[in-house]
Amino acid sequence: MADSYESLKIPPHSIEAEQSVLGGLLLSGLANDNTAWDTIADKVVEEDFYRQDHRLIFRAIADLVEDSKPLDLVTVSEWLKQRNELENAGGFAYLATMAKDTPSAANIKAYAEIVREKSVLRQLITVGTGIADSAFTAQGRPSKALLDEAEQKVFKIAEQGGKQGQVFKSLKNLLKVSLAHIEELSKLDSNITGVSTGYAQLDEMTSGLQKGDLIIVAGRPSMGKCIVAGSRVLDPTTGRLVLIDDLVTRQQGSLATLDAQFRLQVTQPSQFVDDGMKPVFRVRTALGREITTTASHPFLTLQGWKKLAELAVGQCIGVPRVLPFFGQGALSEQRTKLIAYFLTDGGLTQTCPQFTNINPRIRDDFTAALRDFPGVSWRLEDSKGTRTPSVRVMTDSEFLQVSRQDFAHRLKQRLTELSLSLTGLARQLGVAVATVHYWTVGKAVPAGDMLGILCRELQLEPQVLMPHGTAATTRSAPSPVTEWLQALGLMGKSAHGKRVPDAVFELPRALMATFLNRAFACDGSVYVQNGDQVGISYSTVSKPLARDMQHLLLRFGILAKLRERQIQYRGEYRPAYELRITHQQHVRYFLETIGVHGKEEAVQQALAVSQRKFPNADLVSGDVYWDEIESIECLGEQQVYDLSVPETHNFVAEDVLVHNTTFSMNIAEYAAAHKKLPTAIFSMEMPAEQLTLRMLSSMGRVDQHRIRTGKLTDEDWPRIATAVKIFSDVPMFIDDSPALSPTEVRARARRLMREHGQLGLIVLDYLQLMQTGSATDNRTAEISEISRSLKSLAKELSVPVIALSQLNRSLEQRPNKRPIMSDLRESGAIEQDADLIIFIYRDEVYNPESPDKGTAEIIIAKQRNGPIGSVRLTFLGKYTRFENFTPDIYTPGFE
């Protein structure tokens, strides 16, 4: 019975009220009087009507009024008839009945309010049912997410109601409110009528941040901190080295980053920036590591992060001591050895690959690894002792014939299974019957695209029909080894053009050690000098290959110095590149964990010396090595990119550590700490914990680098304690959820306001990280929706909303880098919706020798109710703090 009763429940509605609204509109139209429509047009919409026929009639009336056409029974019925909807709307008779049964349109407003009321109830029922269903079928979704979703749905209904029923406010009433407001302001002791920013000159120009205002604070992302196109970035999840260009193109990837404890972690960039053409400088260190960046790109120093423009030859910068990230590559051990051998002593410029080495044990190891390729043979060419022996790799002719016969057998078997004749197959493929016959007897095999076409006709995968591959089955094809080397990008490379293939960087630890073992077996050496000094070296004429090998050693925490030297070749000197491992603990670690095949005697001699001098082979702990700058060279203008990294703001590129929003946060601190105004911060880029550390640095005036590393001085601790005491009673609330939508921000801000009675300020960091959730590829339209929603939020809650925004890179092309309105990214809607637009400009970012070092221009580019202009503030970089301008104070800033 209960189930039967539930099924009989009818959603709230009033047929009579709906008929009265429509009848009143028809009567009004007959009298050539549209006042009835004007009365209810902002109170109900088509979806508020319960019955479908009533919705159709309302749609017809609305369309006729919109087009300024006559409104009566005939025009409405004709509109419906033209769209084949007249019968669905009840026919002409039903329209006439409604008009006849409605006495007048005098009470149409009351009828419309009933229709709207019932509509809201139905929507609540629908939303409530949906919420219940979501709870029943949560499938692991957290309750918090369900609550946010439910609140958004309810707010959506409320928003509809808020838009309807709005009326004009009479000037008479508004004058009373305005006079009361002026009287209240006259009693104040200052000119600040809104939320004070804490900056005297800025407050003087704006009278504080006003309730209901949307304030945009914009600055250039990364402020010129970029690295050159073509720089390689380590993906710690795969071990792959990825070009920064590709990361920016894909807009996704993983990075290695240094945390506050100086330990390497895995992170993902929050932003990928194409910064166009800029002057760049190549930095080379004592270890031979190189990276090319802009002058303003910061490097880690013993005194914190400093821009390259502030560094000089002889100073030390932080580089990774180890990059302990390996992949899950699928290379076999034998193929790993072969790559090492072909990279070092391989000849890859002729038709058949060769391997030249004087050590018979190494040659035997090479030929044993070739067995990983079926259908391959080799021949030793020693020129009767006049030249170093070479192993020439080619296709095994006997195996080729066996493979062709196997193909023929499989083809005939499949034709039998399909009951398909040779003629039938030839017709389907569009080839001669003789061709198919030759395939079935092993005299020929399909070449080129024909194999794929044949496999589709036979409904087989190519490896089923030709399991040994085309290279081992086709006479005209290169050998399987040649085909493999071509796929790796090695075939055809001279000694100068060789470099490590991508597949090697993705190897697991054990196989990467095998690769290095065999590479050093050919081009490496182990030596003992003066009876007690052990060293390891690796030489090549390819600088890219040397840098690749240096990087692979770094995966094991082995530091190798790369140097260039001149070698004599055929009567002339040419550059060669040598890696040297001289740190005794690193030498010992290499010999014990990697080794050198074929040079075991030298390895054991070196180990004996090393074990006598260094019983403990453990490497130095810590992930940072302080490497001295050897040269800084200007390379002119080049394409540059940057990556924004949340929390740590640094990443590893070219085996060097490189670095990557303070003004608004200082305003938020002042509002919450000094004015005790509840302040909501939506930090979509930086985690709340990191934001807290920044505020402690700012409020306590403690170097943020020392806070991040925990290396606080005796003077720092009391300052930290004071800052903690100040903040412990501050009404500041931080939400660090990523990619929030305007609806989510509104729901959370309203919830916070209900809990605390009021809100004094809302800060969003930053606008371009917000999402609307709508399925659109038009980001400009999406930003427009976001900015309108934020302006609506400011008005609804009657609080100033500060939204951080970014500037596009067009300003980089101008001699004067000061931002202007058109520099706002997706500027149109932002410029229109904002009440106050503030740009931050620091000249020293673009001009390292600027006389305005340590200061910032706060440019008011737009203000609805006040002047535009600029004020100057002091920037204390190491505290991430802006302060009122004091001309005689300058503290170099770290970004």
Catalytically active residues, by annotation: 685
Cα–Cα separations (whole angstroms), residue 380 to 346, 367, 391: 14, 10, 5
358 closest CA partner among 390, 311, 326, 333: 390
| Per-position DSSP letters for 593-647, written without gaps between them | HT--TT-HHHHHHHHHHHHHH-S--PPPPSSEEEEEEEEEEEEEEEEEEEEE-TT
Per the listing, tokens 């970035």 go with 233
Name 662's Cβ contacts closer than 8 Å, sequence gap at least 6: 694, 698, 880, 881, 882
Let me know the angle formed at the C-alpha of 760 by 757 and 763, rounded to the nearest 5 degrees. Answer: 120
Tokens 């929507």 found at:
123
* Cis before 766 (ω within 30): yes
Are 223 and 845 spatial neighbours (Cβ–Cβ below 8 Å)?
A: yes
Task: Name the region of 139 (left: φ>0; alpha: ψ -120 to 50; beta: rest).
Answer: left
| Assigned token pair, 788 | 């309108």
Q: Which helix (H) or strand (E) holds 298?
A: strand 298-301
Residue 226 token pair: 């970029």
Element (H, E) at 659: strand 656-659
Query: Cα 118 to chain center, whole Å?
Result: 46
Token couple for 742: 């305007």
Q: Distance between CA atoms of 225 and 293, rounded to whole angstroms? A: 8
Contact 765, 681 (CB under 8 A): yes
Q: How far apart are CA 356 and CA 365, in angstroms?
A: 13
Q: What contacts 319, CB < 8 A, 6 or more positions away?
A: 285, 287, 289, 624, 625, 626, 627, 655, 656, 657
Angle at 611 between CA 605 and CA 616, to 5 degrees: 150
Q: Are 803 and 218 in contact (CB under 8 A)?
A: no
| Spacing of C-alpha 189 from chain mean position | 49
